[in-house]
Structure 1
């Protein structure tokens, strides 16, 4: 019998997750070598990434892509929330030019989504906020991908 852990999950659930994900690892050189990549998919309840299972898997993996239903229904596809998506490898795997563009763009998109959520409640926005909102709309449109179009 296994002892209870947090949120009524078994106490060894973290160990079980890490053991499962470590199976997608470096292969024995005697059998051809190489490595495998695991893409665990975690469904959150109401987008709660701080729940036990999402935090377990996030702590084990090298990053996460957070897909958001609200963005999907707004026509943003892929519906990636750049504010919650993280990569531990990230910029180390990018060219210098890509690193410069991606870093500032990710920050701008995250700021845009944050400000856009509050801007709907007020009509008296300063020029800097209006510029941020306009640029965010353009960036979002630029990054949208059509159905069956793997690269835009």
Structure 2
């Protein structure tokens, strides 16, 4: 009787937690890994697990204990994944930062330093990432934290850019406010069109030089 009362106390909460994790896993890939870490695949799987546990054990955890176990597993997974999202500056000089970590960083991805400066991941090596700093590298120190943004470098292009003065990231610096008009964003690293797709040279350009 005591076992039945305990099971009624924690089972509904645990089943709800399992459903939430499974639902999150369908839209967030990392959550599927977290769900596997806590041994949850679906509500049906959880009910089967509960039935097996109830038939083999007399002492079941309380609702609060079970909740703590699941939260601990998820937090452990989150801590492990953070290593791939942040890094530490090993060396800085000549506009290039060597960063340890960022194991999931992509080539051409924008990153952000503690100082707020942005940079672009250029060289992806086994133990560090070479990052081109967009700005004064003197404000960056060894040991500073670097965060991924998940965004590949892109710039605004279009007729709305005509006559505007922008920085290396396409931000206006001419005091005329935000860029308006026909503008789209395109990645800076794109494959050049093939020779067949290009328009042939049909108009000479006079330079005045011999």
TM over 0.5: no
| TM-score normalised over the length of structure 1 | 0.23
Structure whose residues are more often strand by fraction: 2
> Quick check: which has more Rg, 1 or 2?
2
Structure whose residues are more often helix by fraction: 1
| TM-score normalised over the length of structure 2 | 0.18
